[in-house]
Structure 1
Amino acid sequence: MALFSNHIFLLLSLTLAFSGGATPLSRNETGGARGDFVISPFKTVVQVFNRLYGTSFTIHCKSKDNDLGTHMVGPKGNYRFKFRANFWGTTLFFCRVSWAKGWTVFNIYSTKRDIGRCQTYCKWEVLGDGLYGYRQNDKVCDLKLPFKNKP
């Protein structure tokens, strides 16, 4: 019986060691359903900066299970949220950004695209011609999404 208990303990220890200490999270932190397991114990921060200089924009972000609400971001302001990606690699947040001259809908975070791109910090900037995305700790834009013009 002691040998069986030791094997169970070893199996659990190895599972936790190789899974990064994955733990179930509440619905608000995962972007998925209650009970999803995370890839690792760190959170990802997504931050969107207003670079429209003197003009505000509106942002509304959602996942399959979470509506983060509509937010007005003033000049020189920013909007941010954080979460933990789920174990299955299906975490997806999408947003609609609009301002006086344009709008766009886009995936602000997708585990499949971003797990190696901006694993713990995803930076975006709203400029007059579109939305710019940056790799983690990089000052060079690697994603650009143009705005659709408002009538």
Structure 2
Amino acid sequence: MGKVVLSHLIIKFIFLFITLNHLQQLVYAADPELMMNMRKGTISNCFMKPVTVYIKSDVNNLRFHCKSKDDDLGEVRRNAGEEYDIHFCLNIWRSTLYFCHFYLGWKQRVMDVFATKNKHDPDYCFSTAYSATVDCYWLIREDGFYVAKFKNPGPNDWLKKFDWE
């Protein structure tokens, strides 16, 4: 009898742990102000590490539309020197994906701005076992898409990752 009770408790605990991240998103979705604060990074209530994707424009009239499986962040416009940040929590399966469709005049490209690979953070993101966050950096230029070589990159700390299509 004790083994049955213990197995039910373990199953309930696993179910609770799996659904907590989804419940958190429902609570945020029910209150638009909470969701906005989470996206701005003023709320960090993640069960897994919080992630920030920094998208910096080095061109004028850059348009892009970013989404995940659960969130449509809408269309964004940025000019040279402006930045757009995406804040989110990794899901417990470490399968979180955000992608964006970028437009610059007649040029465009659809690409992942955050996608875990084999349950690890992408190579253009910075985190350690001891850090509390994951930070990812993109720079959009006239000739393509760049990723940072270091956390908090300077003007010369970028590597070209993709061309425009």
1:45 to 27, 49, 52: 52
TM-score (norm: length of structure 1): 0.67
**Percentage identity across paired residues of the two chains:** 24
TM-score (norm: length of structure 2): 0.61
Q: How does 1:46-125 map to 2 (within 5 A)?
A: 46-52=53-59, 55-112=60-117, 115=121, 117=123, 118=125, 119=127, 120-125=134-139
Q: Please give the secondary structure, in 2, of the residue aligned with 1:112.
A: coil
Q: Does 1:147 align with 2:164?
A: yes
**Residues matched between the structures, number:** 123
Q: Please identify which structure carries the higher helix content.
A: 2
- Tell me, in whole angstroms, the C-alpha distance in 2 between the residues paired with 1:142 and 1:87: 30
- Tell me, in whole angstroms, the C-alpha distance in 2 between the residues paired with 1:138 and 1:75: 18
Runs of 4+ in 1 over 3 A off after TM superposition: 138-143
- Tell me, in whole angstroms, the C-alpha distance in 1 between the residues paired with 2:162 and 2:94: 23
- Alignment RMSD, CA only? 3.2
CA-to-partner distance for each residue in 1:51-99, whole Å, 9 max, x for gaps?
A: 12xx220010001111010000122111111001111121001101111
The amino acid across from 2:121 in the alignment is I
- Tell me, in whole angstroms, the C-alpha distance in 2 between the residues paired with 1:94 and 1:133: 15
